[in-house]
Structure 1
Amino acid sequence: MTNAILVQPVISKTDHKSALKRIETLMDLEKRTRDQEIELETLFVLVSNYEEKHVLIFPPHPIDAILFRMEQQGLTQKDVAKILGSKQRASEYLNKKIPLSIEAIRKLNDSLGISGDILIQKYTTKK
Protein backbone atom coordinates (compact mmCIF):
# COMPACT_ATOMS: atom_id res chain seq x y z
CA MET A 1 0.00 0.00 0.00
CA THR A 2 1.38 3.42 -0.92
CA ASN A 3 1.21 6.56 1.15
CA ALA A 4 -1.14 9.33 0.06
CA ILE A 5 0.60 11.96 -2.03
CA LEU A 6 -0.40 15.50 -1.25
CA VAL A 7 -0.04 17.74 -4.30
CA GLN A 8 -1.43 21.26 -4.28
CA PRO A 9 -3.12 22.76 -7.34
CA VAL A 10 -1.07 25.29 -9.32
CA ILE A 11 -3.32 28.34 -9.67
CA SER A 12 -1.09 31.28 -8.75
CA LYS A 13 2.45 32.55 -9.31
CA THR A 14 3.33 31.44 -5.79
CA ASP A 15 1.97 27.93 -6.44
CA HIS A 16 3.89 27.84 -9.73
CA LYS A 17 7.14 28.84 -8.06
CA SER A 18 6.67 26.27 -5.28
CA ALA A 19 5.84 23.52 -7.75
CA LEU A 20 8.92 24.29 -9.84
CA LYS A 21 11.08 24.19 -6.72
CA ARG A 22 9.62 20.81 -5.75
CA ILE A 23 10.13 19.48 -9.30
CA GLU A 24 13.77 20.54 -9.12
CA THR A 25 14.18 18.80 -5.76
CA LEU A 26 12.63 15.60 -7.10
CA MET A 27 14.66 15.75 -10.32
CA ASP A 28 17.89 16.06 -8.33
CA LEU A 29 17.25 12.81 -6.46
CA GLU A 30 19.49 10.01 -7.62
CA LYS A 31 16.73 7.46 -7.00
CA ARG A 32 13.04 8.20 -6.60
CA THR A 33 10.39 6.10 -4.92
CA ARG A 34 7.23 5.20 -6.81
CA ASP A 35 5.35 7.89 -4.83
CA GLN A 36 7.98 10.47 -5.75
CA GLU A 37 7.70 9.48 -9.43
CA ILE A 38 3.91 9.91 -9.26
CA GLU A 39 4.30 13.26 -7.50
CA LEU A 40 6.81 14.43 -10.11
CA GLU A 41 4.59 13.43 -13.01
CA THR A 42 1.57 15.10 -11.40
CA LEU A 43 3.53 18.31 -10.81
CA PHE A 44 4.68 18.32 -14.45
CA VAL A 45 1.06 18.18 -15.61
CA LEU A 46 -0.10 20.87 -13.18
CA VAL A 47 2.79 23.20 -14.06
CA SER A 48 2.31 22.64 -17.80
CA ASN A 49 -1.39 23.44 -17.55
CA TYR A 50 -0.67 26.60 -15.56
CA GLU A 51 2.04 27.73 -17.99
CA GLU A 52 -0.18 27.16 -21.03
CA LYS A 53 -2.70 29.60 -19.56
CA HIS A 54 -0.50 32.12 -17.75
CA VAL A 55 3.08 32.14 -19.00
CA LEU A 56 3.89 33.88 -22.26
CA ILE A 57 6.76 32.10 -23.97
CA PHE A 58 8.36 33.95 -26.84
CA PRO A 59 9.90 31.98 -29.68
CA PRO A 60 13.70 31.99 -29.81
CA HIS A 61 15.65 34.30 -32.10
CA PRO A 62 16.11 32.52 -35.47
CA ILE A 63 19.91 32.51 -35.27
CA ASP A 64 19.87 31.38 -31.63
CA ALA A 65 17.64 28.48 -32.70
CA ILE A 66 20.16 27.52 -35.39
CA LEU A 67 23.08 27.77 -32.97
CA PHE A 68 21.20 25.69 -30.40
CA ARG A 69 20.41 22.98 -32.96
CA MET A 70 24.04 23.03 -34.12
CA GLU A 71 25.14 22.45 -30.52
CA GLN A 72 22.57 19.67 -30.04
CA GLN A 73 23.75 17.86 -33.16
CA GLY A 74 27.47 18.61 -32.75
CA LEU A 75 27.55 20.60 -35.98
CA THR A 76 30.08 23.25 -36.94
CA GLN A 77 29.75 26.37 -39.06
CA LYS A 78 31.38 24.32 -41.83
CA ASP A 79 28.49 21.83 -41.62
CA VAL A 80 25.95 24.67 -41.91
CA ALA A 81 27.93 26.06 -44.86
CA LYS A 82 27.41 22.72 -46.62
CA ILE A 83 23.66 22.99 -46.01
CA LEU A 84 23.52 26.58 -47.24
CA GLY A 85 26.03 26.12 -50.08
CA SER A 86 28.52 28.82 -49.02
CA LYS A 87 30.97 29.41 -46.14
CA GLN A 88 30.60 33.16 -46.52
CA ARG A 89 26.80 33.05 -46.49
CA ALA A 90 26.75 30.77 -43.44
CA SER A 91 29.08 33.19 -41.64
CA GLU A 92 26.94 36.19 -42.56
CA TYR A 93 23.78 34.49 -41.31
CA LEU A 94 25.27 33.11 -38.09
CA ASN A 95 26.87 36.46 -37.25
CA LYS A 96 23.54 38.24 -37.92
CA LYS A 97 25.04 40.38 -40.67
CA ILE A 98 22.24 39.57 -43.10
CA PRO A 99 18.71 38.22 -42.60
CA LEU A 100 17.91 34.65 -43.55
CA SER A 101 16.66 34.28 -47.11
CA ILE A 102 13.59 32.20 -47.91
CA GLU A 103 15.86 29.64 -49.57
CA ALA A 104 18.09 29.46 -46.47
CA ILE A 105 15.00 29.05 -44.27
CA ARG A 106 13.82 26.15 -46.44
CA LYS A 107 17.23 24.45 -46.36
CA LEU A 108 17.62 24.88 -42.60
CA ASN A 109 14.08 23.65 -41.99
CA ASP A 110 14.69 20.55 -44.14
CA SER A 111 18.18 19.78 -42.84
CA LEU A 112 17.98 20.78 -39.18
CA GLY A 113 14.25 20.41 -38.56
CA ILE A 114 13.88 23.93 -37.18
CA SER A 115 10.34 25.23 -37.54
CA GLY A 116 9.80 27.71 -40.35
CA ASP A 117 7.75 29.81 -37.91
CA ILE A 118 10.91 30.36 -35.86
CA LEU A 119 13.23 30.91 -38.82
CA ILE A 120 10.99 33.38 -40.64
CA GLN A 121 10.82 35.91 -37.79
CA LYS A 122 12.14 39.40 -38.53
CA TYR A 123 15.26 40.49 -36.69
CA THR A 124 17.76 43.29 -36.87
CA THR A 125 21.15 42.68 -38.41
CA LYS A 126 24.55 43.95 -37.35
CA LYS A 127 26.14 46.49 -39.62
Structure 2
Amino acid sequence: MSELFSPEWMAGFAENWNADPELSGALAEIGFNSTIAYGYAGDPAPKGVLVVENGKAVSSGAYDGQSVNWDIRASSDTWDKWLSKPPNMMTLGVGYTTGKLKFEVGDYSAMIKDPRMAGPFIKSFAAMSKVA
Protein backbone atom coordinates (compact mmCIF):
# COMPACT_ATOMS: atom_id res chain seq x y z
CA MET A 1 0.00 0.00 0.00
CA SER A 2 1.20 3.51 -0.78
CA GLU A 3 2.00 5.85 2.08
CA LEU A 4 -1.16 7.44 3.46
CA PHE A 5 -1.95 10.75 1.73
CA SER A 6 0.97 10.42 -0.72
CA PRO A 7 0.19 11.49 -4.31
CA GLU A 8 -0.21 7.81 -5.29
CA TRP A 9 -2.53 7.13 -2.36
CA MET A 10 -4.59 10.24 -3.10
CA ALA A 11 -4.96 9.11 -6.75
CA GLY A 12 -6.36 5.78 -5.53
CA PHE A 13 -8.68 7.61 -3.16
CA ALA A 14 -9.93 9.81 -6.01
CA GLU A 15 -10.60 6.72 -8.12
CA ASN A 16 -12.57 5.06 -5.30
CA TRP A 17 -14.41 8.33 -4.61
CA ASN A 18 -15.61 8.54 -8.21
CA ALA A 19 -16.55 4.85 -8.32
CA ASP A 20 -19.04 5.16 -5.45
CA PRO A 21 -22.40 6.58 -6.61
CA GLU A 22 -23.47 7.09 -2.98
CA LEU A 23 -20.49 9.42 -2.61
CA SER A 24 -19.75 11.16 -5.92
CA GLY A 25 -23.28 10.75 -7.28
CA ALA A 26 -24.92 12.09 -4.14
CA LEU A 27 -22.58 15.08 -4.10
CA ALA A 28 -23.16 15.72 -7.81
CA GLU A 29 -26.88 16.04 -7.08
CA ILE A 30 -26.19 19.02 -4.81
CA GLY A 31 -23.48 20.55 -7.03
CA PHE A 32 -20.76 19.99 -4.42
CA ASN A 33 -17.47 21.72 -5.25
CA SER A 34 -14.63 21.71 -2.76
CA THR A 35 -10.93 21.40 -2.18
CA ILE A 36 -10.39 18.96 0.67
CA ALA A 37 -7.10 18.47 2.48
CA TYR A 38 -6.19 15.51 4.66
CA GLY A 39 -3.40 15.01 7.13
CA TYR A 40 -2.24 14.37 10.65
CA ALA A 41 -3.27 16.23 13.79
CA GLY A 42 -0.49 18.44 15.04
CA ASP A 43 1.31 18.75 11.70
CA PRO A 44 1.81 22.30 10.43
CA ALA A 45 0.14 21.47 7.09
CA PRO A 46 -1.98 18.72 5.58
CA LYS A 47 -0.37 16.01 3.43
CA GLY A 48 -2.80 15.35 0.59
CA VAL A 49 -5.51 17.20 -1.27
CA LEU A 50 -8.55 16.22 -3.32
CA VAL A 51 -10.31 18.66 -5.65
CA VAL A 52 -14.00 17.89 -6.17
CA GLU A 53 -16.15 19.48 -8.87
CA ASN A 54 -19.86 18.63 -9.09
CA GLY A 55 -19.28 15.68 -6.79
CA LYS A 56 -16.45 14.11 -8.81
CA ALA A 57 -12.79 14.08 -7.79
CA VAL A 58 -11.09 15.88 -10.67
CA SER A 59 -7.57 16.07 -9.25
CA SER A 60 -5.57 14.88 -6.31
CA GLY A 61 -2.04 14.99 -5.00
CA ALA A 62 0.27 16.41 -2.40
CA TYR A 63 -0.80 19.52 -0.53
CA ASP A 64 1.17 22.43 -1.96
CA GLY A 65 -0.13 25.45 -0.09
CA GLN A 66 -3.36 25.76 -2.06
CA SER A 67 -6.45 27.26 -0.47
CA VAL A 68 -8.78 24.59 0.91
CA ASN A 69 -12.43 24.47 1.96
CA TRP A 70 -11.85 21.56 4.33
CA ASP A 71 -8.75 20.41 6.20
CA ILE A 72 -9.45 17.13 7.97
CA ARG A 73 -6.93 15.76 10.46
CA ALA A 74 -6.52 12.82 12.81
CA SER A 75 -3.63 10.97 14.43
CA SER A 76 -1.86 8.21 12.55
CA ASP A 77 -3.41 5.63 14.90
CA THR A 78 -6.91 7.00 14.32
CA TRP A 79 -6.47 7.01 10.53
CA ASP A 80 -5.17 3.41 10.69
CA LYS A 81 -8.18 2.33 12.74
CA TRP A 82 -10.64 4.06 10.38
CA LEU A 83 -8.96 2.62 7.28
CA SER A 84 -9.21 -0.91 8.64
CA LYS A 85 -12.82 -0.39 9.77
CA PRO A 86 -14.49 2.67 8.25
CA PRO A 87 -16.29 4.75 10.86
CA ASN A 88 -20.02 5.30 11.03
CA MET A 89 -21.85 8.48 12.06
CA MET A 90 -21.55 7.64 15.76
CA THR A 91 -17.83 6.87 15.56
CA LEU A 92 -17.14 10.15 13.76
CA GLY A 93 -19.28 12.11 16.23
CA VAL A 94 -17.38 10.65 19.16
CA GLY A 95 -14.10 11.24 17.30
CA TYR A 96 -14.98 14.88 16.76
CA THR A 97 -16.15 15.56 20.32
CA THR A 98 -13.08 13.83 21.81
CA GLY A 99 -10.67 15.64 19.49
CA LYS A 100 -9.60 12.56 17.52
CA LEU A 101 -11.11 14.09 14.39
CA LYS A 102 -10.11 17.68 13.77
CA PHE A 103 -11.25 20.18 11.19
CA GLU A 104 -8.53 22.79 10.78
CA VAL A 105 -10.73 24.37 8.07
CA GLY A 106 -14.43 23.71 7.53
CA ASP A 107 -17.50 23.46 9.72
CA TYR A 108 -18.05 19.87 10.87
CA SER A 109 -21.22 20.74 12.80
CA ALA A 110 -22.93 22.38 9.81
CA MET A 111 -21.86 19.60 7.45
CA ILE A 112 -22.95 16.72 9.68
CA LYS A 113 -26.41 18.29 10.20
CA ASP A 114 -27.04 18.32 6.44
CA PRO A 115 -27.97 14.75 5.39
CA ARG A 116 -27.07 15.57 1.79
CA MET A 117 -23.47 16.00 2.93
CA ALA A 118 -23.29 13.79 6.04
CA GLY A 119 -24.00 10.54 4.18
CA PRO A 120 -21.33 11.13 1.53
CA PHE A 121 -18.87 12.25 4.23
CA ILE A 122 -19.31 8.87 5.94
CA LYS A 123 -18.94 7.14 2.55
CA SER A 124 -15.64 8.96 1.94
CA PHE A 125 -14.04 6.90 4.72
CA ALA A 126 -15.17 3.68 3.03
CA ALA A 127 -13.59 4.95 -0.21
CA MET A 128 -10.37 5.58 1.72
CA SER A 129 -10.37 2.06 3.11
CA LYS A 130 -10.35 0.59 -0.42
CA VAL A 131 -7.09 2.26 -1.47
CA ALA A 132 -4.53 -0.50 -2.10
Which TM-score applies when normalising by structure 1?
A: 0.28
Does 1 or 2 have the higher relative contact order (CA < 8 Å, sep 6+)?
2
Q: Which has the higher strand share?
A: 2
Which TM-score applies when normalising by structure 2?
A: 0.27
Q: Which has the higher helix share?
A: 1
Rg larger in 1 or in 2? 1
